[in-house]
Amino acid sequence: MPKENLEDLEQTLGVTFSDKDTLRQALVHRSYLNEHPDFPLGHNERLEFLGDAVLELVVTEHLYQHYENPEGELTNWRAALVNADMLSDLCRTLEIEPYLHLSRGESKDKDSKARKYILANAFESIIGAIYLDQGWEAAKTFILERVLCELPRVLKERLYIDPKSRFQEAAQEQVGVTPSYKVLSEDGPDHAKEFVVGVYLGKELVAKGSGMSKHEAQVAAAEAAIREKGW
């Protein structure tokens, strides 16, 4: 069962809602309503749609006002700040997950790729809820304090560069070798295959990654390799 004491969540978010149901709806995943058709609120997808737009505008405005870099660089920085990996991590950091209304199946599936997107979407839904309930300035303050505070780390760790490129640059710099990728296994039907890919430096298997496409698995392997090597 999801936590129901929204006051604790409000304190964590730093926002006190006038209409608690606006916040509560931001926490409702579509799957929950399939099992609880009498639940008085709808799911959070419309709030997510709104929050996504507010988030992108606040981040874009901040980057435009504070950096003179070319459009392409700013676009990459923004993408690193608002992607599912970043937002799901922020959702976990704020301990929003225990408040989510999920189906029994989704509740058990804690480490899947699907859960990452559920968390990222919930974070955007909360931004939409803050905007609806408290207005533009409150939503902007929340994003500045909770999302844009990650910009220094994004720039320092070069998270705006895709993991394959980051690992290749680091490998060439550290050991003078270009990484190679090899599919280690394929499982599942054609419409839902899962690939496991290994990334190698010469003959050394550095790390493995999985995904629903070869490219997705390669990216996951590169991310794991960066962590493994401490690069």
Is residue 209 within 8 A of residue 218, CB to CB? The reply is: yes
C-alpha 16/C-alpha 211 separation (Å) is: 39
Q: What is the dihedral of CA 221, 111, 126, 50, to 10 degrees?
A: 60
Give, rounded to a whole angstrom, the gap between the first and last alpha carbons of the chain.
Answer: 40
DSSP string, 134-194: H-HHHHHHHHHHHTGGGHHHHHHTTTTS-HHHHHHHHHHHHTS---EEEEEEEES-GGG-E
CA nearest neighbour of 9 among 110, 96, 131: 96
Check 52, 97, 106, 223 and give the catalytic one.
52
**Displacement of CA 95 from its chain's centroid (Å):** 14
The pair of structure tokens assigned to 55 is 């988030």
DSSP state string for 63-113 = HHHH----HHHHHHHHHHHHSHHHHHHHHHHTT-GGG-B--HHHHH--SSH
Instruction: Based on the residue annotation, tell me whether 187 is a catalytic residue of this protein.
Output: no
Of 48, 106, 124, 223, catalytic:
124
Per the annotation, the verdict on 124 as an active-site residue is yes
Question: Do the beta carbons of residue 10 and residue 17 sit within 8 Å?
Answer: yes
As a whole number of angstroms, the distance between CA 195 and CA 95 comes to: 31
Positions annotated as catalytic residues are 52, 124
